[in-house]
Amino acid sequence: MPALALAVLALFVCAASGHAAQSPSQLRKQLALEKKKADERRQNLKSMTIQERKLNTDLAEAEKRILQLEKNIAEQQAKLLDISAADDEARQEYDVLVAEKQKIETVLTDTLRLLWEAHVRRMAVGGREMDDWAGTDREYIWSQELYKILDDNRSVLAEKEKKLAGVLEQRDRLARSMEEWLASVNREKAALLQNRVLYDRQLRGIRQQRKSTETELQDILQLAENLNMEVARLEAKDIAKMKGQLERPVSGRLRKRFRPEAAPPVRGVGFSTGENAEVRSVAAGKVVHNDILRGFGTVIIIQHNTDYFTLYAYMGDSPLKVGAAVNVNQKLGTVGFYPDLKGPGLYFELRFKQKAINPESWFAS
């Protein structure tokens, strides 16, 4: 194995030896605490979901009410326009009536003057100028009829004037009432619009808070999963006592054997496999390295306790992060291209501290 790979492995060995591992009981306490946090976050999410639903309902009701108010306002404004148009017509009719009344009053005035002059003349002559009683009678009857016509015209004009004045007054009252109603509806609409802005702001706040809580919950669940894996790893059978019991890390043909004395030395074993063959951990442990190592492609190193490490090289795809706990036979990823074998495969090492040991004697078969 190249010196660079040895240096990387030595670094992880030194770091591991200086780190005080927690006991399973301590990890279980931490796990219980994280589960409690997760339950609290779930409860918070449930409460926020209820709030969000209520706000959505309130917002929908406000939108519905605003639309209804806008429809009512449009209808009433159209009615106001109709009233205004009818009012204009009534006022024009009223003006015509007033002009007609003035004309009739003028005619009445002229007629009364003539009648008065005739009456004065008769009184002055004592009726002596009258040719006959028949003429006098006709003049009298004509005068009476004229008076009657004048009185009838006065009555009709007065009735029309009174009726038009009532119509105008009623329309004025209706217009004022509708304007007051429109002002009240507009105030309600303004309040609803203000509430809608408030609902939108609250919804944005809750959604942002929920998103943050969901992210936090995922982090807590991931930590809890890692703690579970760590507990399982610590309570798993010690790799030091598993010699001759380890399952091979990959299904394939053994093509390179352990030959540390060769030139160049081979400090592990190599397997040829099919495309995308799964690579699995030979024992429980913790990922201390998952990165590209020049000459070895993607390399995963797992620490099994303070002394034992396994190394998996020429890996293809692996989702594991450094610090993740793994169980025995857990999938680490898939194989990549193994240059020496000119195809897909896996290079595997087993080390005690910094010394490579022959993994073949540790395999069950």
- Give, as one character, the DSSP assignment of residue 339: G
pLDDT band at 223 (very low <50, low <70, confident <90, very high): confident
SS3 content of the chain, % helix, strand, coil (to 5): 65, 15, 20
Candidates 1.10.287, 1.10.12, 3.30.1490, 3.40.50; CATH matching 50-212: 1.10.287
Residue type, 132: D
Q: Which residues contact 80 (CB under 8 A, 6 or more apart)?
A: 175, 178, 179, 182
Closest CA to 27 of 214, 256, 200, 229: 229
Model confidence over 283-313: pLDDT tens digits?
A: 989 999 999 988 899 999 999 977 899 999 9
Q: Domain residue spans in the chain? A: 50-212, 239-362
CATH homologous superfamily of 239-362 equals: Glucose Permease (Domain IIA) (2.70.70.10)
pLDDT band at 98 (very low <50, low <70, confident <90, very high): confident
pLDDT computed for residue 331 by the predictor? 95
322: tokens are 């450094």
Alpha-carbon distance of 355 to 279, in angstroms, equals 23
Alpha-carbon distance of 218 to 214, in angstroms, equals 6
Model confidence over 6-49: pLDDT tens digits?
A: 444 444 444 444 444 577 778 888 888 998 999 999 999 899 88
